[in-house]
Chain A
Amino acid sequence: QEQLVESGGDLVKPGGSLRLSCAASGFTFSDYYMIWFRQAPGKGLEWVSYISSSGSFTNYADSVKGRFTISRDNAKKSLYLQMNSLRAEDTAVYYCARTMVQGVLTPLDPWGHGTLVTVSS
């Protein structure tokens, strides 16, 4: 069964840092692009970042560029999101997701259940 499980969400003060993790199982992790999305309370979905299957290529939404870093460890079948200089507007449930097809950017399936990040003093 293909599964993604996020962890690391927490309450953090503005300007603080947090590292999210996403553990994959049930598929060959190193074959797929991986993506982070977020959803602020009561709001819609926002793409945050994606990383290629090898980790050699990354891309970020303008809203997080320069503050967030996506990475992966294919040996550990894990995806990460290092979040620095956090702001109140970064408060959201963060989801990791996998591309539907190996090796290319495609629609997302499956998704993790999400982890909540709250930025507040």
Chain B
Amino acid sequence: EIVLTQSPGTLSLSPGERATLSCRASQSVSTTYVAWYQQKPGQAPRLLIYDASSRATGIPDRFSGSGSGTDFTLTISRLEPEDFAVYYCQHYASSMGYTFGLGTKLEIK
């Protein structure tokens, strides 16, 4: 079983700042199977990044993903007010289904 550890648990930043969110896997995984989601209160998750670094349809280019092996990063280059939310990294495999990290809450400082 792959465990995803996200850090920090909470990140307090101001609009216009850069956000760097980390996701560490308990063992090396293929970038093909790593994704990031955004979830706002009362809403379903929204796919942001797939294949570790590809932006999903309609996602602004201030969102970017990177990483390989066990360490993956979601970067928001310049925070907009609507970006404050909870972010989850995800790994999937046919045998294990989908695994999520516990999330990083991005809050307004």
Question: Which A residues form the contact surface with B (CB < 8 A)?
Answer: 35, 37, 44-47, 49-50, 59-61, 95, 97, 100, 105-109, 111-114
Other-chain contact of B56, A37, A100, A113 (Cβ < 8 Å)? A100
Other-chain contact of A61, B44, B46, B97, B102 (Cβ < 8 Å)? B97
Other-chain contact of A109, B43, B56, B92 (Cβ < 8 Å)? B56
| Contact call A44/B94, Cβ cutoff below 8 A | no
Question: Which B residues form the contact surface with A (CB < 8 A)?
Answer: 35, 37, 39, 43-47, 50, 56-57, 88, 90, 92-95, 97-103
Return 28 A-B CB contacts under 8 Å, by A number.
A35-B98, A44-B88, A44-B100, A44-B103, A45-B88, A45-B103, A46-B100, A47-B98, A49-B97, A50-B98, A59-B94, A59-B97, A61-B97, A95-B44, A100-B50, A106-B50, A106-B92, A107-B35, A107-B47, A107-B50, A107-B56, A107-B92, A108-B47, A109-B47, A109-B57, A111-B44, A111-B46, A113-B44
The closest CB in chain B to the CB of A105 belongs to: B94
- Chain A residues closer than 8 Å to B101, beta-carbon distance: 44
Cβ distance A117 to chain B, nearest Cβ, rounded Å: 15
Per the bound structure, the CA–CA distance linking A46 and B95 in Å amounts to: 16
- Chain A residues closer than 8 Å to B97, beta-carbon distance: 47, 49-50, 59-61
Per the bound structure, the CA–CA distance linking A100 and B59 in Å amounts to: 14
| Contact call B98/A37, Cβ cutoff below 8 A | yes
